[in-house]
Structure 1
Amino acid sequence: MTLKIKQKIPLKIKKIGINGEGVGNFKGTTVFVAGALKGEEVYAEIVTSERNYATAKMLKLNKKSPHRVVPMCESYKQCGGCQIMHLAYPQQLLFKQDLLRQALQKFKPQGYENYEVRKTIGMKQLQHYRAKLQFQTRFLGEKVRAGLFAENSHKLVEIKNCLVQDETTQKIINEVTELLTFHRIPIYNERKFDGVRTVMVRRAHKTGQVQLIFISSAPIELKLTIASLTEKFPEIKTIALNINRKQSSEIYGEHTEILWGERAILEGVLDYTFELSPRAFYQLNPKQTNVLYREALKAMGARADDDLIDAYSGTGTIGRAFLGKVRSIRGMDVIAESIADARLNVPDGVYEVGTAEKLIPQWVADGFKATALIVDPPRTGLDDKLLDTIVATKPKKMVYVSCNVSTLARDLVKLAQVYEVSYIQSVDMFPHTARTEAVVKLVRR
């Protein structure tokens, strides 16, 4: 049946869905209820109704899960950055293991029923683990404010004390908003357009060094702001300006200029250090990245005669973990600044700007054939052309590091044609959110 908007229904929650919402069934229609947990019984009001499903908001909790806890964050319900802080942490880990099973059940890669999905590796420190902050800025109530947009809107939720964000980065963004207000720096809005739209603050876990990027839709004067920031926070080593003139949801434009300080900051993982330029990608949870990379090393089982390709290499941080363990390393990324970092971070490797689907066939034509491949793609997963390239070149072994269970399961449909999935190891990089990382060990059939 088709449910009607504002219709009120009783609902038993059967599971937690991939976005952290409760999932129930009412007379044959799947209903998603934000904030509901598995095993709960709720009274809900329909918000949207489609042919095969509906969404609803919870009006009353009639039967509460024994695993429900009170969220610690004052902005939890408004900001949407965390989705499952109301679920006890041991159950969060079970949920993230189940996330993988749900995705596999949906896409059904060959032999998925027999895949070994290992227990999620969790964290002890559940607060202040996120080392990179990326907040939107808006001028509201005679003051510049920074935070995240409420879910499915452009309404800014000001955040001054994020419980998952590194405390130093939060202090710096709070000071940034004060200075932007005081110095009357132009601030972006959808009508005026010109001005600062986003601020990125990243702190290296290993060294404590900090870098900032101001993302603006037009050039701005920041000398006085920079002077005040660097005086108050001596750990700041780099301040950059990125110009993004696009009227879209893309955060960064193509051009980034260092306004003050060093080209990069120094970070470390496992037993090595590396450089990070402002635009370079690195994992948001540095402490748990040690766990993730150890699992990637374990899954690869690197040999001294292996020739490794590090696809979606970023700054070469994963590739660097294999240095000295394999015969050769080659990698690629589409962001030139990342490749500049990778060449410094992996001095014996060969890193080029470009896409894997273009460079790998070129390398094969030049006589280089990889025996091992590691991929760590963005949330969109592997490019179709790269999947075709992998299936065509068939490295003996492959490790897939994923941050999106759905695109991972989708990609395994094609990869499972030529690879056995030895196991999938879930790693919790983002406590209190409905996201998990996964390390997949694949061996050529």
Structure 2
Amino acid sequence: MPNFLNQIHEIKIDSQEHFKGNGVGRIEDFVVFVNGAVEGDVVNAKITESKKTYGNAQITKIVKPSPHRIVPECEVYRKCGGCSFLQIDYDFQLETKEKFLKEALQKIGKFDLKNLSIEKIVCAEEPLFYRNKIIQPVGLEDGKLISGFYKQNSHKIVDFDKCYIQPEISNKIVNLVKSWASKSKTPIYNEEKKSGVLRSIFLRINREQTEVVVCLVTKGKKLPFWKTLLQELTDNFPQVVGLVQNFNSTDGNNVLSENFNTLWGRDYIFENLGKTKFKVSIGSFFQVNSAQTVLLYNLVKEFCNLSGTEKLLDVYCGLGSIGIYLADKAEEVVGVEVSSQAIKDADFNADLNELENCDFYCGKVEEVLPQLLEQEKHFEVVIVDPPRKGLSTETIEVISDFNPEKIIYVSCNPTTLARDLRLFTEKGFSIKKITPVDLFPQTHHCEAVCLLEK
């Protein structure tokens, strides 16, 4: 068993891996995952972790850059864990994500790619400054307040003043909050000592950048001098519609708790997707790229091809966004979601769009779907948009028992998508087409929409 720990080797990068976006090379038969490397690079890399068959490494020198490598404007891209693909030209990012999807379908799902219709990835018109949700942890370094994203595989904050995947107004607001926290001497949370007050800065912003909710995540309920911050925010940013506090007293890795308190204004923004308007509460799930979400939902609409007579089941519906977006073309929409706040938003959003054919159920998908089945509910179309872990086998079983004509699977993880598609095909469904969507430019993450029919 080779032990290359702390050794520096020249490595040719043959590919990218889809779990973290690292470059992949070899020292003879020993696989090395090189942080920040790009397919086609030749690098000198120091082995920072050495296992039996693989290791992790950091670049010490780029011997020969890949033709796909670019130099980003971001000064901390080599340290920050937020953007794994920022150093890769955008066309090759898209090509790589298409490859990730195909590899997962082939290796995990055991599908013959020749028998699948995989369409070209839907690219982003604006691959920078797109995030509508920002959460930046704060900390102290040499007595100075810092805020940014974590370094890959660590809880070490990489400080920055400008992030290239979030809007400029978000960067400015975060910097104002940092300045306020320093001036007011607000105690900064120390993860090791489990002490302090301010843990993270959390923003939600709409696509038009006309509404922003600012949320401060704190260890306890006390937040001194917040009225001073409010004055500074409203003086400088008329777009700020609310200041919220989230109490997170846990010592674990959960960034947020369910405990929100509105200090001023409102705890939600309004977001427009096409002709549909949504209330998005600070704690509800909503896709982070509003512009690409419109393209994603239009693709779902195209795959559904509704005539107006169909009953539609929206599984993991969140604040009802997909179902409500399609509701004017359906006879009935039923949504299921575990978050009570999201369900409140979904009910509100149905009324906001003057829809009377939407019903939303709050509860675990694994518990609510069997209840709907027992009530002999029937759905011609089922849409699923699960978290990265995908669907449980029980959920796949129940969805299949509804015997829908179509299933539209919206996935943010090619690996679990491929696994679940295999299980659906074993239930008698066939894959008609799959379209990847670049919802997360500058990162290795890939969204995809799949149409299954029976």
Asked if TM exceeds 0.5, the reply is yes
Aligned residue among 204, 214, 218 for 1:212: 214
C-alpha distance in 2 between matches for 1:140 and 1:66: 37
Pairing 1:121–2:122 present: yes
In the other structure, the counterpart of 1:15 is 15
C-alpha distance in 2 between matches for 1:339 and 1:90: 38
Displacement of 1:192 = 4.2
> Is the contact made by 2:116 and 2:433 (CA closer than 8 Å) also made in structure 1?
yes
Displacement of 1:340 = 0.6
Pairing 1:362–2:371 present: yes
In the other structure, the counterpart of 1:249 is 253
C-alpha distance in 1 between matches for 2:239 and 2:411: 32
Percent identity of paired positions between Structure 1 and Structure 2? 32
The 10-residue stretch of structure 1 (206-215 or 357-366) with the greater mean CA deviation from structure 2: 206-215
Alignment of 1:305-316 (within 5 A): 305-316=309-320
C-alpha distance in 1 between matches for 2:172 and 2:11: 42
Aligned residue among 329, 332, 342 for 1:328: 332
Displacement of 1:43 = 3.3
In the other structure, the counterpart of 1:435 is 445
C-alpha distance in 1 between matches for 2:143 and 2:30: 47
**In structure 1, what residue type is equivalent to 2:442?**
H
Residues 384 and 257 of structure 1, relative CA distance in 2, 3 Å threshold? farther
Displacement of 1:147 = 1.1
In the other structure, the counterpart of 2:51 is 50
Can you list the C-alpha shifts for 1:266-321, whole angstroms capped at 9, x where unaligned? 11102111111111111111111111111111122223221111111111111111
> Is the contact made by 2:243 and 2:262 (CA closer than 8 Å) also made in structure 1?
yes
**In structure 2, what residue type is equivalent to 1:28?**
D
The 10-residue stretch of structure 1 (103-112 or 356-365) with the greater mean CA deviation from structure 2: 103-112
Displacement of 1:71 = 1.6
The 10-residue stretch of structure 1 (38-47 or 363-372) with the greater mean CA deviation from structure 2: 38-47
> Is the contact made by 2:243 and 2:267 (CA closer than 8 Å) also made in structure 1?
no
> Is the contact made by 1:285 and 1:430 (CA closer than 8 Å) also made in structure 2?
yes
SS at match of 1:380: coil
Query: Structure 2: any 5+ residue segments left out of the alignment?
Result: none
Pairing 1:338–2:347 present: no
C-alpha distance in 2 between matches for 1:142 and 1:21: 33
> Is the contact made by 1:335 and 1:353 (CA closer than 8 Å) also made in structure 2?
yes
Alignment of 1:140-219 (within 5 A): 140-190=141-191, 191-206=193-208, 208-219=210-221
In the other structure, the counterpart of 1:403 is 412
Displacement of 1:400 = 1.1
The 10-residue stretch of structure 1 (127-136 or 31-40) with the greater mean CA deviation from structure 2: 31-40
C-alpha distance in 1 between matches for 2:25 and 2:350: 50
SS at match of 1:425: strand
C-alpha distance in 2 between matches for 1:336 and 1:261: 21
C-alpha distance in 1 between matches for 2:236 and 2:45: 49
The 10-residue stretch of structure 1 (169-178 or 54-63) with the greater mean CA deviation from structure 2: 54-63
Can you list the C-alpha shifts for 1:96-151, whole angstroms capped at 9, x where unaligned? 10010122233124555522222211123222111211100113344432211111
> Is the contact made by 2:213 and 2:267 (CA closer than 8 Å) also made in structure 1?
no
> Is the contact made by 2:436 and 2:447 (CA closer than 8 Å) also made in structure 1?
yes
C-alpha distance in 1 between matches for 2:289 and 2:385: 15
> Is the contact made by 1:33 and 1:57 (CA closer than 8 Å) also made in structure 2?
yes
C-alpha distance in 2 between matches for 1:112 and 1:357: 31
The 10-residue stretch of structure 1 (163-172 or 16-25) with the greater mean CA deviation from structure 2: 16-25
Residues 75 and 43 of structure 1, relative CA distance in 2, 3 Å threshold? closer
Aligned residue among 252, 255, 265 for 1:261: 265
> Is the contact made by 1:3 and 1:54 (CA closer than 8 Å) also made in structure 2?
no
> Is the contact made by 2:203 and 2:215 (CA closer than 8 Å) also made in structure 1?
yes
**In structure 1, what residue type is equivalent to 2:211?**
Q
- Name the Cα RMSD after superposition: 1.8
The 10-residue stretch of structure 1 (387-396 or 122-131) with the greater mean CA deviation from structure 2: 387-396
Can you list the C-alpha shifts for 1:54-100, whole angstroms capped at 9, x where unaligned? 22223343333222211221111111211112211111110110010
> Is the contact made by 1:244 and 1:252 (CA closer than 8 Å) also made in structure 2?
yes
Count of residues paired in the alignment: 444
> Is the contact made by 1:202 and 1:212 (CA closer than 8 Å) also made in structure 2?
yes
**In structure 2, what residue type is equivalent to 1:420?**
S
In the other structure, the counterpart of 2:285 is 281
Aligned residue among 228, 233, 240 for 1:229: 233
